[in-house]
Structure 1
Amino acid sequence: MQNTTDNIFILVALGMIGTFLLVVSFILFSIRNQNKLLKQRQQFQQAQIAHQKELLKAVIESQEAERKRIGQDLHDDVGTTISGLRLLVEMFKPTGGEDKNYQDFTQSTKTIIDKIVKDVRNISHNLSPTTLRYYGLAAAINEHCTIINQSGKLQLTLNNTAEQVLEKLPITTSTAIYRVMEELLNNTIKHSGASKADIGFKTNGEVLTIDYADNGKGLPGDIETAKKGMGMQNIESRLLNINATYNLQSAAGNGFQIRIECPIVTV
């Protein structure tokens, strides 16, 4: 009887141990499968992000190529034609001699033509800034700020302590940063009601930091809503294309601030 009881106890113990091992094996198997699925999901998400970035890069490059083509056409074709028209006006002489009406007409015509030529050059420059291509980002930003200050639309202060780094950036990175600064300045001039704006470039050797701030009325809504606007989406897409991040700070009546951090990759 005692032997039977001992045998039953041993069988029960072995059964419990077997059940425990089976449960542990099942848990470990489930955890392994979950980790495998999680890893596959992460790889799929990374592949999706990489694909989206490639598509975004292709779109931005095609946009820049089209901007360059249109800008050159405006400068070479339209600008040259208008300049030729001005020469024709200067060469034309009435058969009856010059009178006051003719002189007034000639002067006003040349004034209008000169304004059109200037506007075409400005549009051409904005579409495809030659300074950026030939002299680098620092020179292009400085030129753009000078033009804005001369226009009287905004009092702009530029503090650049990273000029050597800006000169060595790849053209894709330089173009993206230039377009972002252009978008920020346009938004400030058109929508903020600001009288002053400050731009700062600095670097710690690995990251380029760009600080932009104005004294305007700030964003009308919350920051998350502002990020959905077309202007901020354009900025975000260009920064994403160069692996840059940004931090937005703004409140109604307290101006607008943004800090951009871009990893430094030189050519």
Structure 2
Amino acid sequence: MMRIFLACLLMWAGGTSLRAQQLNSRQWQDSMREAISIAGTDSARAVLAFQLSEHLSLRDTLQAAHFLGQGFRWAGRSPLLQAIYPYYAALLRSRTDPSGAEALYLRADSLLAPFPGNLALTIRSKAVHRYGALRMLTQDPTQFADLLLHKAIPLARRTGDSALIGKHYLGIGYVFRNHGQHDVADGYMRTGARIMGNGPETAEQRIVTYIALSENLSLAGRNNEAPEMLAHARELLAPWPESDHWVDYYAAESLYFNEAKEWQQALESLSKGSVYADKLHKVYEKQRLQLQQYYALHNLGLYREALRVAEHLMRQPEMTAIVTNRLLLYAGLADTWAALGNKSAAYAWQKQYSTVSDSFHASRLTQEIGAMEIRYRNAEQKEKIAILEAEKKQAQLAGENSRLSLWLMAAASVLVVVIAGFIFVHYRNGRKLAWQKLQEMKQRGELTTSHAMLEGEERERRRVARDLHDGLGGMLAGMKIKLSGIAAENEGDALYQVIGQLDHSVNELRRIARNMMPENLLKFGLETALRDLCESLSSPATHIRFQAYGVAADLPVQTQVTIYRIVQEALANAIRHAGAREVLLQCTQDGQVFFITIEDDGKGFDVPAKEKDPGTGLANIRNRVHFLKGKMDIHSVENEGTSINIELQVNG
């Protein structure tokens, strides 16, 4: 049974969107109507009517359209209000005409670009977010992440609205969560919560954040931490029994119970959530709950009931419009038919799943989103550095002006001493320079030899990895497809076992190829590759923690490969030879100096004895450290663990 995954791609296009949704909707509507009636100008009435239309767009489309029209009439010929109007018009079209809504969001952004005020910047930021959310529904999450990182957040920062900035970060967290990067998603969600907390945070914002964190913790394998978040959300929701957020709360609670294998309680939560969804006319949110209902029924062994739910969801356009939802349903139908003993139907749905999964390229999308995050972090860092350098230069200029006269006076007196000592220094340095040049020539020869050896080794690794992945991997995959076809026709259990073994062999082959030359190193840089290496080597027996500080993204490729091989060999020694349960890897860069620290709680070894007779792994590490003109220090105590400290010279 595939891991439960809460599909939520409509999260930011629907229920928990950027609008300042109030916990007591009816009371808020009444206060807005009163504010419109007493507003002193048509422009003020127009803005209030637009905001009320936004609030009603998912509750009462007729009333929303009424206030949208009122706002347009009150806007008159105001260029700013005329430019704002397309954004609010798009809200009403987002579900019935997504393409038309996309065009209106882009038009609002374009028309508002000349206006510098906070109102224009806020609407532009929200329009970009909503446009990206609609694009995500058409299987383009990379564009959504790109828009949030590079446009929506910068616009929001110019307004100083911490709530708006924080909600954008929460949106990025949803993108990473939907593609299985739950640790990254957790970081963005908590960043969003922290930013929102710096401003006038509302109870609703905290509710949305707690629910999002709870769902992500359940999906990340940290289900035991979810109840705390659910308790916070429930406490804040308790005074508001009519709030829309109860639907999302029960969805998160049912996910927790499903992950905890308390399926009967999951069904009870889903039943409560469905009542709210029906009452509030939330069609897609009701379908999300039904997807969780399917998992609970299947795990309870109620396969016929689970099948009816899955087949019902397959007929719902809101659910099947999203590719990840289709993948979940295909896999679920395959599992359920297999449990009912209908192997031909199970095979047909499994084949459908494989076809869509291959075309979706989930791993590629994850890598592209990760690359965007890296580019955004680099741009942010460069901007900070430029500001600091400008401030530093300004301070230096002021100091230099005050010291200039003193330097001119001191220079005259020092000049006599310098000339007198120059002849002596020149003679002594001449002899020293000749000796240094001789030593440098010797070192350059050794480095050239080492460089050629390492480069040849990496080139051969790439060749073998490519041959394994593209050649042998392709052949094994072809064999699997043919055997699957034969198995479907003959319905033989033995053939399915062979297919499973063959599938395991393909995965092992690809793992070996990635270890020989990891693609993430070449695509996304050293830090991402090291993080992926730690995750791939972690297991129930060994937990690896990775910490990185100031690692430059523009290190030469050969330098990054050399550092990666040093860490790879050291981690392999800690796991294979030391039998460590806990390993800590820290990588820090300070200018042209790169520090590596690896600590483990393994069985340790006798360092002096090992220095006399080093194994292949330790020798490989020392060769690569020497290649980067580095130093290595090893401390180890038998039965207590080992600590390795490495200092390397790198050129950015």
TM class by shorter chain equals 0.7 to 0.9
Look up the SS of the partner of 1:200 in the other structure: strand
Is contact 1:218-1:251 (8 Å) kept? yes
In structure 2, the residue matched to 1:144 is 533
SS of the aligned residue for 2:577 comes to: helix
Structure 1 pair 45–119 and aligned structure 2 pair: CA distance change class (3 A): same
Helix, strand or coil at the partner of 1:192: coil
* Residue of structure 1 equivalent to 2:48: none
Residue in 1 aligned with 2:461? 67
Shift of 1:251: 2.2
Contact 2:550 2:589 in 1 (8 A): yes
1:83 aligns with 2:477: yes
1:152-167 mapped onto 2 (5 Å cutoff): 152-163=540-551, 165=552, 167=553
What's the counterpart of residue 185 of structure 1?
571
Give the number of equivalent residue pairs: 224
Considering only aligned residues, what root-mean-square deviation do their CA atoms show, in Å?
Answer: 2.4
1:43–1:229 Cα change, 3 Å: farther
Superposition map of 1:78-227 within 5 A = 78-92=472-486, 98=490, 103-149=492-538, 151-163=539-551, 165=552, 167-222=553-608, 225=611
Instruction: Confirm or deny: 8 A CA contact 2:559 2:650 kept in the other structure.
Output: no
Q: Distance in 2 between matches of 1:265 and 1:208?
A: 10
SS class of match (2:492): helix
Give the counterpart letter for 1:55 in structure 2. Answer: T
The answer on whether the counterparts of 2:607 and 2:636 sit within 8 Å (CA) in structure 1 is no
Give yes or no for contact 1:56–1:241 (8 Å, CA) kept in 2: yes
Structure 2 gaps of 5+ residues are: 1-426
Residue type of the alignment partner of 1:48 = K
Q: CA deviation at 1:224?
A: 6.1
Give the Å deviation of 1:261. Answer: 1.4
1:70 Cα deviation after fit:
0.3
Task: Assess if the C-alpha contact under 8 Å between 2:487 and 2:496 holds in 1.
Answer: no
State the match for 1:58 in structure 2. 452
Counterparts of 2:595 and 2:607, CA distance in 1: 26
- CA deviations 1:149-187 (Å, max 9, x no partner) are 2x3341111111224x1x121111100110011001111
Q: Contact 2:607–2:635 at 8 Å: present in 1 too? A: no
Check whether the contact 1:180–1:238 (CA below 8 A) recurs between aligned residues.
yes
| Offset at residue 46 of structure 1 (A) | 3.5
Measured at CA, do residues 237 and 153 of structure 1 come closer, stay the same or move farther in structure 2, by a change above 3 Å? Answer: same
Partners of 1:140 and 1:93 in 2: CA distance: 39
Specify whether residues 53 and 127 from structure 1 end up closer, same or farther in structure 2 by C-alpha distance, changes over 3 A only. Answer: same
- Secondary structure of 1:178's counterpart equals helix
- 2: distance between equivalents of 1:45 and 1:252? 39
SS of structure 2 residue aligned to 1:132: helix
Pairwise CA distance, 1:244:
2.1
Report if the CA contact (8 A) 2:632-2:646 is conserved. yes
Equivalent residue number for residue 616 of structure 2: 230
SS in 2 for 1:243: coil
Q: In 2 relative to 1, CA 262–108 (structure 1 residues): closer, same or farther, beyond 3 Å?
A: same
Moved over 6 A (4+): 38-41
* TM-fit CA distance, 1:42: 5.8
Larger deviation: 176-185 or 39-48?
39-48
- Larger helix proportion of the pair: 2
TM-fit CA distance, 1:209: 1.5
Cα-to-partner distance string for 1:95-148 (whole Å, 9 max, x where unaligned): xx73xxx52112111111111101110110011111101111111111111112
The answer (yes or no) to whether the contact 1:245–1:260 under 8 Å persists in 2 is: yes
**Which residue is 1:26 aligned to?**
none
Identity across matched positions, percent = 25
With over 3 angstroms needed to count, the CA separation of the structure-2 counterparts of 1:146 and 1:224, relative to structure 1, is: closer
Question: Cα distance, 1:44 vs. partner?
Answer: 4.1
SS of structure 2 residue aligned to 1:208: strand
Partner of 1:14: none
Separation in 2, partners of 1:183, 1:242: 16
**Deviation sequence 1:25-74 (CA, Å, 0-9, x none):** xxxxxxx9xx97x9867654432222111111100000000000000000
In structure 1, give the amino acid aligned to 2:549. Answer: T
SS at match of 2:640: coil
**Partner Cα distance (1:57, 1:47) in 2:** 15
Change (3 A) 1:110 1:74: same
Q: Counterpart of 1:216 in 2: which secondary structure?
A: coil
Q: Give the secondary-structure state (helix, strand or coil) at the position aligned to 2:604.
A: coil
The CA distance in 2 between the partners of 1:108 and 1:130, in whole Å, is 31
| Alpha-carbon contact 1:227-1:233 (below 8 Å) kept | no
Question: TM-score by structure 2 length?
Answer: 0.33
Separation of aligned partners in 2, 1:206 and 1:58: 23
The structure that has the greater radius of gyration is: 1
Work out whether residues 222 and 251 of structure 1, in 8 Å CA contact, stay in contact via their aligned partners in 2. Answer: no
Instruction: Provide Cα deviations, 1:76-105, integer angstroms capped at 9, x if missing partner.
Output: 0000000000011012269xx73xxx5211
Q: How far apart are residue 253 of structure 1 and its match?
A: 2.2
The whole-number CA distance in structure 2 between the counterparts of 1:243 and 1:223 is 24
Whole-angstrom distance in 2 between the partners of 1:129 and 1:184: 17
What amino acid sits opposite 2:514 in the alignment? H
Counterpart of 2:571 in structure 1: which amino acid? L
Q: In structure 1, give the amino acid aligned to 2:441.
A: A
Q: Helix, strand or coil: the match of 1:140?
A: helix
Take 2:612 and 2:505, find their aligned partners in 1: how far apart are those partners? 36
Post-superposition Cα deviations, 1:163-220, rounded to whole Å, max 9, x if no partner, equal: 4x1x121111100110011001111111102111001122333422211110111123
Q: Is the 8 A contact 1:209 1:262 kept in 2?
A: yes
Q: Distance in 1 between matches of 2:529 and 2:569?
A: 14
Name the aligned partner's letter for residue 119 of structure 1: E
C-alpha spacing 1:227/1:203, structure 2 compared with 1 (3 Å): farther
Amino acid at match of 2:495: T
How many Å separate the matches in 2 of 1:42 and 1:169? 28
